[in-house]
């Protein structure tokens, strides 16, 4: 049966059809849906891990135990998992293991746009890259077979455009793959130096075998056309090339590490001019040039951002295309903002009002860096806020620490914030840490994590007690506040910042989009007689309240207001009152 699928669903389907029985991940756009789709199949096990390193380590264990295993993460997640990844490339697999790296050219939802094909060369992995949803499913199937044939983890590299765009997919039957027998083999799976040195030799033999394989791999193909121009490409960029220049000759590569040298040489010899079309880094172009093959690419194609047919038409053909469909009217700019009723809004309003230096982290609350709140100073990567705050404290002294706070979400704290807090205690820091506990991994779509007390299937499980964890690592001052109670929050911050000890404030309130958020029970309105047009309520950036310039007055949109009461607390004139009805 043929069905329309996004790339992520096709990957999950491919793993299911290939007989995978275990899948692990930490949610991260654009990879999140892979595990959500996989978990819906019967007879498989899927889990959200606390972070990508743990996810990959669980995958290693499942593979060694004999199961075909899928591990999925976004590109920056591979950085977190790099430690076990590099060593698992040495040990090799038992059951096949496929690691999906979802790269994000254009940084639609990421803090950088690294090209993870580089990890393939660095960690000595076979890397395959599909161009549409059908190939995504088929390549996953092939990747499991190649993983077991060459005794190696295989990376399936995709990008945001493939992950979330749709194309038709032919579904197949699930292959019944028995659990492979597990045999104790310390020389293979215990990477102490004496064993690892021997395994490195095996890795080099494997890479030599892979270099031979890719020359004849069905994942690579030449599509002959006009030989005046030859294009070497892979991934979703192949679709752009075919749309813009269907007449040219194309070498479509499905294996992007190692590259098939002889195949590329044969192709290059048959065309007058050779151009490499690849998003982000010139991974293939540099290799071709290192082989002495005359190739072009990044001399006129960008190494930043996402490619498109329009970009290729402009850069390769010198034509500027008009957008086929446009709106006649100018749409007002709509900057990203917290949702109405978001418990984070009051936190950043308070932090900004107190003029604190705020070391932030990755999550919905990163929006606190944007205007009108603009109350965040740093955001580096998952879990970095606490370490950054401690670094500021050590650089500028304890007095500066009394004006500095680390802000981190509940899911991110579990991901990699705990070790930062341990570092604060161990190294005699006095940092104040705000854990914004909204009871979910909100930004990627409300996935569960250990502190929600639910598994990926929504089944109740042991709940990580954040207060107990903080106390267990040595923080004596741990308190919980309601982030929608601004007076309570500000009082807690003032006390903890001058305490001279490491402290944690857990600002707990469910995400406003969760059914149990408890909002919507009240209604607020602006008393037009009392409102003096100070616009203070507008500065919290809530879409539920707006400003009418002609009347110099604020109004509340009853269709968007969820009754959190934040604006009423901020108004110094008591001009925002409860009541009015919906």
d(CA 115, CA 280): 6
Cis amide linkage into residue 339, ω under 30° from 0? no
Residues at the binding site for [4Fe-4S] cluster are: 531, 534, 537, 542, 561, 564, 567, 571
Is residue 181 exposed (0-12), middle (13-18) or buried (19+ Cβ within 10 Å)? exposed
DSSP string, 29-83: TTTTHHHHHHTTSTT-EEEE-SSHHHHHHHHHHHHHTT--EEEEEEHHHHHHHHH
Do 283 and 246 contact (CB within 8 A), yes or no? no
| Sequence-ordered list of residues with C-beta below 8 angstroms from that of 274, at least 6 positions apart, any chain | 230, 231, 232, 267, 268, 288, 293, 294, 295, 296
Q: Which two tokens stand for residue 432?
A: 């104040």
What whole-number distance in Å separates Cα of residue 64 and Cα of residue 169?
A: 31
User: Which tokens belong to 414?
Assistant: 């579990």
Residue with tokens 């075909």: 68
Known binding residues are 531, 534, 537, 542, 561, 564, 567, 571
Q: How many of the other CB atoms lie within 10 Å of CB of 578?
A: 11
Q: Which of 120, 90, 125 is nearest to 198 (CA)?
A: 90
Please state, as a whole number, how many other Cβ atoms lie within 10 Å of the Cβ of residue 207. Answer: 18
Whether the Cβ atoms of residue 385 and residue 436 lie closer than 8 Å to each other:
no
How many residues belong to the chain? 582
3-state secondary structure 173-197: CCCCCCCCCCCCCHHHHCCCHHHHH
Distance between terminal CA atoms of the chain? 48
Close Cβ partners of 48 (under 8 Å, ≥ 6 residues apart): 24, 25, 26, 27, 35, 441, 447, 448, 449, 455, 456
């Amino acid at each position: 049966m043929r069905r329309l699928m996004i790339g992520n669903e096709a990957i999950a389907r491919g793993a299911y059809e290939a007989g995978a029985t275990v899948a692990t991940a930490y949610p991260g756009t654009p990879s999140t849906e892979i595990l959500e789709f996989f978990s819906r199949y019967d007879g498989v096990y899927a889990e959200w891990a606390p972070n990508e390193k743990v996810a990959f380590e669980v995958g290693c264990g499942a593979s060694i135990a004999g199961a075909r295993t899928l591990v999925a993460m976004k590109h920056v997640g591979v950085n977190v998992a790099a430690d076990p990844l590099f060593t698992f490339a040495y040990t090799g697999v038992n059951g096949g293991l496929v690691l999906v790296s979802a790269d994000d050219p254009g940084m639609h939802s990421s803090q950088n746009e690294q090209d993870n094909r580089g990890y393939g060369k660095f960690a000595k992995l076979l890397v395959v890259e599909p161009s549409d949803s059908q190939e995504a499913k088929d390549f996953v199937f092939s990747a499991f077979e190649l993983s077991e044939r060459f005794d190696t983890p295989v990376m399936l590299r995709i990008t945001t455009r493939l992950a979330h765009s749709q194309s038709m997919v032919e579904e197949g039957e699930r292959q019944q793959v028995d659990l492979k027998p597990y045999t104790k083999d310390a020389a293979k799976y215990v990477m102490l130096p004496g064993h690892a040195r021997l395994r490195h030799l095996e890795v080099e033999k494997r890479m030599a075998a892979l270099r031979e394989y890719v020359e004849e791999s069905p994942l690579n193909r030449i599509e002959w056309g006009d030989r005046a121009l030859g294009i070497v490409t892979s991934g979703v960029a192949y679709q752009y090339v075919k749309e813009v220049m269907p007449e040219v000759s194309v070498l479509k590569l499905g294996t992007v590490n190692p590259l098939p040298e002889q195949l590329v040489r044969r192709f290059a010899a048959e065309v007058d001019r050779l151009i490499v079309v690849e998003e982000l880094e010139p991974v293939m172009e540099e290799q071709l040039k290192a082989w002495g093959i005359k190739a072009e690419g990044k001399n006129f194609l960008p190494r930043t951002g996402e490619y498109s047919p329009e970009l290729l038409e402009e850069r390769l053909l010198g034509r500027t295309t008009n957008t086929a469909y446009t709106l006649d009217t100018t749409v007002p700019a709509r900057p990203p903002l917290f949702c109405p009723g978001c418990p984070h809004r009051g936190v950043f309003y308070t932090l900004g009002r107190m003029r604190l230096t705020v070391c932030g982290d990755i999550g919905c609350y990163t929006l606190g860096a944007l205007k009108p709140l603009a109350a965040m100073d740093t955001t580096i990567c998952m879990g970095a806020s606490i370490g950054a705050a401690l670094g500021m404290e050590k650089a500028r002294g304890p007095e500066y620490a009394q004006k500095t706070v680390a802000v981190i979400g509940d899911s991110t704290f579990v991901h990699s914030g705990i070790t930062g807090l341990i570092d604060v205690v161990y190294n005699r820091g006095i940092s104040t840490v705000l854990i914004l506990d909204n009871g979910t991994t909100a930004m990627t779509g409300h996935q569960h994590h250990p502190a929600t007390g639910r598994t990926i299937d929504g089944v109740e499980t042991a709940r990580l007690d954040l207060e107990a964890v903080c106390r267990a690592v040595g923080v004596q001052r741990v308190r919980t506040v309601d982030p929608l109670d601004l007076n309570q929050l500000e009082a807690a911050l003032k006390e903890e910042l001058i305490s001279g000890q490491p402290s944690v404030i857990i600002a707990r309130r469910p995400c406003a989009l969760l059914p149990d958020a408890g909002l919507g029970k009240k209604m607020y309105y602006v008393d037009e007689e009392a409102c003096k047009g100070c616009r203070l309520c507008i500065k919290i950036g809530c879409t539920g309240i707006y400003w009418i310039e002609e009347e110099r007055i604020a109004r509340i949109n009853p269709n968007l207001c969820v009754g959190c009461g934040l604006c009423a607390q901020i108004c110094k004139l008591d001009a925002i009152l409860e009541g009015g009805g919906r």
